[in-house]
Amino acid sequence: MINAVPTNVRSAVCPNDDSFPLIQDQFVDMAFMTEYTGLTDKWFYKLIQDGKFPRPVKFGRSSRWLKSELEAWIQERIQESRAA
């Protein structure tokens, strides 16, 4: 097959568990997250330091987060705020 994806790439991109396939996700930067949520970068870094927000993926000196992780974190906040 010409368009076949090698097994090692397929396993990294589409793990066997039911998680969101990485190929369908995207990396976002802090500017995107602050615009998307209205929260400040300092607030996000405090949450990361406290273990309440995912640590970034580093690409050299650049920090990026998976958009799916940001959205999951927001959904958790929504559920927590409406649980009471």
Residue 17 has pLDDT above 60, yes or no: no
The structural domain count of the chain equals 1
pLDDT tens sequence across 25-56: 999 999 999 999 999 999 999 999 999 999 99
Would you say the pTM of this structure is higher than 0.85?
no
Q: Tell me which residue range forms the domain holding 32.
A: 7-83
Answer whether residue 1 is part of any domain.
no
Q: For residue 65, with 0-12 CB atoms within 10 Å meaning exposed, 13-18 middle and 19 or more buried, which class applies?
A: buried
Q: Where are the alpha helices (DSSP H) in 1-84?
A: 7-13, 30-37, 41-49, 67-83
Answer whether residue 2 is part of any domain.
no
